[in-house]
A = this chain, B = another copy of it.
Amino acid sequence: MTSTSETSARPLRRDAARNRELLLAAARDVFARRGLEATLDDVAREAGVGVGTAYRHFANKHELASAVLDEVFATMSAHADAALADEDAWRGLVGFLESAMDLQSVNRGLREVLMSSTDPRNLQQLQDRLMEPFVALVERAQAAGEVRADVTMADFALLTVMLCAVADLTEGTAPTVWRRFLALLLPGLRPGGPSLPSDGLTAAQLTAATFTRCQRMSGGGPA
């Protein structure tokens, strides 16, 4: 479930996979607690290995962070899929948002990517795996008349970004207040409300927005 990307035809490594796991675990922890600006040395130390080891497993800090975040995105995608299985379109959508926020509210690094849109690669994940079921959830809810027609998928995406901001600020003191704001936001998305100003973002605009900002991590980006 938590196992990592066995990307290519690599047969599997021996017990050195243990270190990879140690590193991923450390990265999960460190990046979640201290954000993505945490040092690779810190991660390595937390994992109990040398920095060089980190670089054996991951090309650079960015790759390690991506690996860790990919896992979360995968989990979120799974949740989105599961939400589609709910026969109640609205409940499915809301349930997904909550499950996504459950993850985001305890993961500072995750919030940072979502809020800062660091780089293409993560976005790829977001789009390829998550975007699809996410869009499906929204459109299904709209088709079912549970969500107003003039709302876009990007509205829901930005909704979680907003809740991230709340979670960011309140993680240490009131880690569940985001639920309050979710509750505040949802009614406005149901049909029947007053018309909304400032058109919602198209998917393309959302992508553009997330692409626009600081793509650098480790020197100058994916390199």
Q: How many copies does the complex hold?
A: 4
Q: Give the shortest distance, in Å, between A136 (CB) and chain B (any CB).
A: 22
Per the 8 Å Cβ criterion, residues 204-223 of A in contact with B are 205, 208-210, 212-213
Q: Which residue of B184, B201, B209 is within 8 Å of A172 (Cβ)?
A: B209
* Chain A interface size range: 35 or more
Q: Which residue of B171, B194, B209 is within 8 Å of A173 (Cβ)?
A: B209
| Interface-located stretch among A23-31, A86-94, A139-147, A185-193 | A185-193
- For residue A179, CB closer than 8 A to chain B, the reply is yes
Nearest residue (CB) in B for A184 is: B188
Nearest residue (CB) in B for A34 is: B214
Pairwise interchain contact B198-A179, C-beta atoms closer than 8 A: yes
**12 chain-A/chain-B pairs, Cβ below 8 angstroms:** A115-B165, A115-B169, A116-B168, A117-B169, A155-B181, A155-B184, A169-B213, A173-B208, A180-B196, A180-B198, A184-B185, A187-B188
